[in-house]
Amino acid sequence: MKDKIINSFSNDLKALVDNMIINDKKVFVTLKAENSNQAKEFEKFKEECEKKIRDFNLFDEINVTFTTIKRKFSKVIVVSSCKGGVGKSTLSVNLALSLKKLGKKVGLLDGDIYGPSIPKLLNINKKPDVNDKKKIIPVKQNGIDVMSIGFLIDEKKPLVWRGPMLQSAIMQLINDVEWDFLDYLIIDFPPGTGDTQLTIMQKLKIDHALIVTTPQEIALADTRKGINMFNRFNVPIAGIVENMSYFVCDNCSTKHFLFGENGGEKLAKEFNIKLLGKIPFHSTIAKNCDAGTPELIHNNSDLNKVYLELSESLIN
């Protein structure tokens, strides 16, 4: 269908197409422009694009935007699971810290607009500065460039936004932020397979997705949807991480599988994806994430080893 639509475009418009995503009855098209002034000059091509797509009578929603962002990220890694509460944000933060320890320049983008967790996990309470180009400067924390909608809104007030406002907010976090040139940009995806995910996949070339699950079947069922989403849009999947895999009490060395056993292995085998690691229940993780001091988690040799092995797997 994408080829049919693009073939209906004029040659000038075809040359501007950067990306197109079709999901159910929604279509998202990104057109290239060198700068904002050129984007205004190319408004006629945007109108042509919308008209040609409308002529197919297949879509309830048509989104056409220009991108002027230059690729500043050598690698973009998204941490994802359709299931909420499996520890995506915690893994995103600790993955960023581990990559930093391995000598990489790292950025961390909180992709959850409705429920941003990164400010709390990193204990960031200040608003970011704006430079003379009116670009938002990411907050520097533990040597990592961090950006979240949570820096810009009142954390106590709920956001009640429809799709277009959500997409606009995501675009601001990507296009209106003065990101440095980074080895890795880690994006903490929200749960589900909605407009946020589609917008990010439209605006950025994702190099790999890292899938997070717990061993529970109810988590595995939702995680399958996320894997299928990435497969549908040809996003490479680096592997699966089984979080809250087991618990070892202080008085014994036995592993207690509170949420079931080998769920990650089953999922990895089902989709022929690598199982990159298992992260245990550990009071150190909970305590330091609540306190906004995740860097202290890496003082625990066992946990530090787990996160470093995950980071090395991504690098290699």
HSE-CB for 314 with a 13 A CA cutoff? 31
Q: What is the mean pLDDT of residues 258-283?
A: 91
Q: Which residue has the higher pLDDT, 37 or 309?
A: 309
Q: What is the mean pLDDT of residues 70-91?
A: 88
Q: How confident is the model at residue 158 (pLDDT cuts 50, 70, 90)?
A: low
Beta-carbon contacts of residue 305 (< 8 Å; ≥ 6 apart) = none
Distance from C-alpha of 108 to C-alpha of 144, rounded to nearest angstrom: 7
CA distance 100 to 276: 19
What confidence score (pLDDT) does residue 167 get? 77
Q: Domain 2-67 belongs to what topology? A: GMP Synthetase; Chain A, domain 3 (3.30.300)
Q: Is the pLDDT of residue 165 over 70?
A: yes
The ranges assigned to domains in the chain are 2-67, 73-315
Instruction: Identify whether the C-beta of residue 107 lies closer than 8 Å to the C-beta of residue 185.
Output: yes
For residue 288, what pLDDT band results from cuts at 50, 70 and 90? very high
Cβ–Cβ under 8 Å, residues 28 and 194: no
User: What pLDDT does residue 195 have?
Assistant: 80
- HSE, CB side, 13 Å, CA atoms: give it for residue 39: 13
Name which residue leads in pLDDT, 36 or 225. Answer: 225
Residue 156's pLDDT is what?
67
Q: How sure is the predictor about 261, in pLDDT bands with cuts at 50, 70 and 90?
A: confident
Homologous superfamily (CATH) of 73-315 is P-loop containing nucleotide triphosphate hydrolases (3.40.50.300)
Given a cut of 70, whether residue 71 has pLDDT beyond it is: no
The span from the CA of 28 to the CA of 72, in Å, is 22
User: d(Cα 52, Cα 131) in Å, to the nearest integer?
Assistant: 39
pLDDT of residue 161: 62
